[in-house]
Amino acid sequence: METAAFYHRPESEYAYIYAPGHVHIRLRTKKGDVAKVGFIQGDPFNLHLRDWYQEEKEMELLSSTDLHDYWLIDTDEPVKRMAYAFHVYGKDGSDVIYNDRGVFPYLKEQLTNSGMYFRLPYFHETDRFKAPDWVKKTIWYQIFPERFHNGDEDNDPEGVLEWDSKTELSTVDFYGGDIQGILDKLDYLEDLGINGIYLTPIFTAPSNHKYDTTDYYEIDPHFGDKALFREFVEEAHKRGMRVMLDAVFNHIGAESTQWRDVAQYQEDSRFKEWFHIQEYPVPSAEEIQAHGPHYMEHAENLPYETYAYVPMMPKINTHNPEVQEYLLNIATYWIKEFDIDGWRLDVANEVDHTFWRKFNEACLSLKSDFYILGEIWTSSRAWLEGDEFHGVMNYSLVGNIIDYFVGKSIPARKMANVMNEQLAQYRKQTHETMFNMLDSHDTARVLTMAEGDIDLVKSTLAFMFLMHGSPCIYYGTEVGMMGGPDPQCRRCMIWDEEKQDRSMYEFTKELIQLRKEYQPLLSYGMLRWELVLDEEKIVGVRRDLGDDEIIGYFNQGYDDFEIPHDESTKVVLHHLSNEAEGKSVIAPNGFTIHTRRQK
């Protein structure tokens, strides 16, 4: 038995309170190396009174990757502290004890030493990672306000273009989308089944994307005003829809008051410590705009730090106490004054952890079920310990799905292995509040990635809707919109129904309804692999909770594939699948989703 592959760490994603009375314990071992794992646990202070070391419960083999097996037990006993160890049985016939001091041959006498056990010293409810429960039940809809709908032509920017009038977009195009336009389309979103709206930045900024903020306290005048925004939030809440705004706290626009002061007074500016400036002089917004090619050519050698070498976006110094106070006041202002439900944090991994902890405390002190979502494209353990974010934009998970379904670049088993590895990275309640999307304002649209294959998109979207986390529809995906990488992915929403793919719209409605109808299963159920066939390109994924199961089978191969049913099976959604008595025959790019009760 390869004991060097053993891994466990108390008070981490390997040992945590999932819910009051439920502690999840995980163990990692070498793939295929271990026959079973016994879990030994008890109160460290009554070891010699109860002799609990003589009893063990069997752990469940939860998942596997190409390298490791992951074991799980949910200890649902009403205890307040825990000492524990693992009795690991190798397939080679050996068995060992793995505890806080290492790996030892199994000797029962060793188990009488309370100092050798892993410990969870005391279960403090304040330490439990609490994720907002409503997020787990939310289907998000992401809106890029400038391109969604022009509801008020009186606030259009100068030089506004006719709606969707250009084939190729540029970064300086304006079409007049605004908050009134979103308010006007709430009936549409309600009909679709949406109960969460995520808006990219709406604060004053010169660009169409607004990620170069000028004033965080004002709605951009081309979008509307605070009275209109308040009306929008109130109307959304009446319809059971939550509202999440986009906070850009990594950088600020060069047209902001703070950077203008630095550009004017240089070393003597009262705001000089608000930025990361290496040398003076630094340019003004006007100088950057007037000599754009020069500054872009020398962006890596600018005398100040920026976001991604963009001269118009100087990076903010969040170590500075004045900056912290300024940003935290902004974060709490929009909660107190307008009752927003969440912040999506742009470029969140480039801001220090100390600031995000203060941000978390400030927001949750006002609204205990407030949602904090970070934009992080890679593994995010450090931000998801419970004192910073509740979730991240789940590009890692969804990228793996796209690689299999759309890119055809990995086999089915590789997708399953990578997803199992990702599931082991975080606590279960963290997975339940991740933000899953196939496309966004930062990526090509999924239908373009799929080269126009709408059946492939439907299968990919359905697969994503079966995952842990709250799914998000990028505006227009539900009507078959296409678009390449930024800025082509930010096209004007298609409102002419004759130009919409209405079958895709109806399919999306069905998928959203499925997610809501089987909400406990899809929000809280465990995720397992029912079937993984590389050669046939078939995957079956299962979510289970108690005695209930929902299973999706997806055919990405070249031939029809048959799935047998039993008498407890109920087909709840399918596409390109012939549902007959006792079986489903799934065509290429098709899928079938079943529910059943465990016997």
Instruction: Name the residue among 426, 435, 440 with its Cα closest to residue 373.
Output: 435
- Answer whether residue 220 shows pLDDT above 70: yes
d(CA 148, CA 158): 18
State the burial class of residue 241 (Cβ atoms within 10 Å of its Cβ: 0-12, 13-18, 19+): buried
The CA–CA distances, whole Å, from 537 to 459, 561, 575 equal: 13, 10, 17
d(CA 3, CA 30): 8
Q: Summarize the confidence of residues 220-238 as an average pLDDT.
A: 98
| Residue ranges of domains in the chain, CATH in brackets | 3-127 (2.60.40.10), 146-250+316-393 (3.20.20.80), 257-301 (no CATH), 525-597 (2.60.40.1180)
d(CA 72, CA 28): 9
- Answer whether residue 109 shows pLDDT above 90: no
- Answer whether residue 563 shows pLDDT above 70: yes
Q: Summarize the confidence of residues 126-135 as an average pLDDT.
A: 93
pLDDT value, residue 285 = 96
Looking at every residue in the chain, the average pLDDT score rounds to 96
pLDDT value, residue 296 = 85
**Res. 598 pLDDT band, cuts 50 70 90:** low
| Beta carbons within 8 Å of 297's beta carbon, 6+ residues apart | none
pLDDT value, residue 599 = 53
Write a three-state SS string for 360-387.
Answer: HHHHHHHCCCCEEEECCCCCCHHHCCCC
pLDDT value, residue 110 = 82
| Beta carbons within 8 Å of 184's beta carbon, 6+ residues apart | 149, 151
pLDDT value, residue 107 = 87
Residue with tokens 């991740």: 434
Instruction: Name the residue among 58, 8, 55 with its Cα closest to residue 37.
Output: 58
pLDDT in tens, 445-489: 999 999 999 999 999 999 999 999 999 999 999 999 999 999 999
pLDDT in tens, 270-283: 999 999 999 999 99
pLDDT in tens, 168-202: 998 899 999 999 999 999 999 999 999 999 999 99
CB atoms closer than 10 angstroms to residue 35? 15
Is 89:50 a contact under the CB 8 Å cutoff? Answer: no
The CA–CA distances, whole Å, from 414 to 65, 419, 469, 507, 530 equal: 8, 8, 21, 28, 15
pLDDT in tens, 488-527: 999 999 999 999 999 999 999 999 999 999 999 999 999 9
Instruction: Name the residue among 443, 479, 475, 482 with its Cα closest to residue 168.
Output: 482
- Answer whether residue 293 shows pLDDT above 80: yes
Query: To 5 degrees, how large is the angle CA 487–CA 492–CA 497?
Result: 145
**Res. 50 pLDDT band, cuts 50 70 90:** confident
Residue numbers annotated as active site? 346, 375
pTM beyond 0.85: the answer is yes
pLDDT in tens, 295-336: 888 888 999 999 999 999 999 999 999 999 999 999 999 999
Q: Compute and round to an integer the Cα radius of gyration of the chain.
A: 26
pLDDT in tens, 413-433: 999 999 999 999 999 999 999
